[in-house]
Structure 1
């Protein structure tokens, strides 16, 4: 996948760029088409030109850690309740 942004274009800081990729190729010009399977990504860059990468946890991971946290809080509450 090649992504080229012209050097004379004034890009705003924290700009969004939509990137299209296709397995079969991309036809540019007035007859724009995407051949084969395609996907669209949105890329966020910083003012110094680096692309931001943010790790997002999988929903199942959040559910498991939330359940474990609730279980620990419950055990602590039960232990404290028995002590008094």
Structure 2
């Protein structure tokens, strides 16, 4: 399994099955265990190219930049999919 494109939400989910299954699913579980607002911030940050993995959210500069963007554009957990689609259309 290889994730090699910015269109993929989880760039760091890669490995060989079945031996890397636990490591790969841990990344997905970590995202699913986040509260919706934090998931929203990760999705936007990933699409902006500021995050390549969940741990990138620990960088206060990057995190603040994404949070400001979400606030400025009115991106919330309720509209993140629609807003990310618009961002991605500009990217493609």
Whose helix proportion is higher, 1 or 2? 2
Q: Do these two structures clear the TM 0.5 threshold for a shared fold by scoring above it?
A: no
Structure number with greater Rg is 1
TM-score range for the pair, normalised by the shorter chain length: under 0.3
Which structure has more relative contact order (CA 8 Å, sep 6+)? It is 2
TM-score (norm 2): 0.20
Whose strand proportion is higher, 1 or 2? 1
